[in-house]
Chains A and B, each alone.
Chain A
Amino acid sequence: MEDEQRKTEETRSFLFLTVVMAPMLAVLFVAGYGFIVWFYQLLAGPPTG
């Protein structure tokens, strides 16, 4: 592979992972955790939150 292209791909990959994917996954995990706690509260009794 040409060096210029490889460099471009590495830059784009790094930006994608740090700016888009990791933040999105983090938000999804936190939101998912919140929903799990909520649904647990629905099953286990009145939402105490």
Chain B
Amino acid sequence: MHSLIDLLKRYWRTIRRPSAYYSLGFLTVGGFIAGIIFWGGFNTILEATNTEVFCTSCHEMYDNVYQDLRQTIHFNNRSGVRAKCPDCHVPHNWTFKIARKMQASKEVWGKIFGSISTREKFLAKRKELATRELARLRANDSRECRNCHDFGYMDFTRQSKRAVNAHSTSLERGEKTCVDCHMGIAHRLPDLTPEGQPAGG
């Protein structure tokens, strides 16, 4: 125990006083280069956790929500532009992205304790999960939709009459947001009827 404290004291002294063997130039440049390598590695890992391969590496995501997505226009369409998991589910802004990554600690928890480890458990929890994600998109005015779908560039002459009616009124005035109407466009929509009310009500 004594020798450990002695060791720490010795190193504390070494760290606090000027180096006798390493030049200021080496220490500064060395620290700078280490910083570059660190930041590159950090962002590489951050991006690696932001890929569809990573998301669907868990069977919970691959077997359920990914199979849903494959049936929709956000996966397969005439122009070949498609949405991947993080395009919609991870904010692109850095602050909100980091916050979302920390929220994912709850998903790690769920993975470890198997909260949706079977199809039955997933179906039982699906309404809660969908409701939460829709609430998030309502609260942020469908920000992740708008990363691709920009209202300012919508050509009403190329939309159906029904779409123009909705987009040029409620959407333009900000009374409604994308997900108020466009639900279940990338995954099968569970029955969102509140508890105790007849289905379809």
The residues of A with any CB-CB pair to B shorter than 8 Å are 3, 6-7, 9-14, 17-19, 22-23, 26-27, 30-31, 33-35, 37-38, 41, 45-49
**Are the CB atoms of B22 and A10 closer together than 8 Å?**
yes
A16 and chain B: residue at smallest CB distance? B11
B101: A residues at CB distance < 8 A = 34
CA distance A11 to B31 in the complex (A): 13
Asked if B58 CB lies within 8 Å of chain A CBs, one says no
**Are the CB atoms of B102 and A6 closer together than 8 Å?**
no
Number of A-B contacts (CB under 8 A): 83
A41 to chain B, nearest CB (A): 7
Selected from B20, B21, B31, B139, the residue in CB contact (under 8 A) with A47 is B139
**A interface, over-half SS:** helix
**Are the CB atoms of B102 and A13 closer together than 8 Å?**
no
Binds A, one of B64-72, B92-100, B159-167: B92-100
B22: A residues at CB distance < 8 A = 10-11, 14
Selected from A14, A27, A49, the residue in CB contact (under 8 A) with B99 is A49
Binds A, one of B34-42, B107-115, B150-158, B187-195: B34-42
29 contacts between A and B (CB under 8 A): A6-B20, A9-B10, A10-B19, A10-B21, A11-B21, A14-B19, A14-B22, A14-B27, A14-B30, A18-B31, A18-B34, A30-B42, A33-B95, A34-B98, A35-B102, A37-B95, A37-B98, A37-B102, A38-B99, A38-B102, A38-B103, A46-B138, A47-B136, A48-B140, A49-B96, A49-B97, A49-B100, A49-B103, A49-B140
Asked if B14 CB lies within 8 Å of chain A CBs, one says yes
**Are the CB atoms of B42 and A45 closer together than 8 Å?**
no
Asked if B15 CB lies within 8 Å of chain A CBs, one says yes
Asked if B129 CB lies within 8 Å of chain A CBs, one says no
B99: A residues at CB distance < 8 A = 34-35, 37-38, 41, 47, 49
B27 to chain A, nearest CB (A): 7
B27 and chain A: residue at smallest CB distance? A14
B140: A residues at CB distance < 8 A = 48-49
B91: A residues at CB distance < 8 A = 49
CA distance A30 to B98 in the complex (A): 7
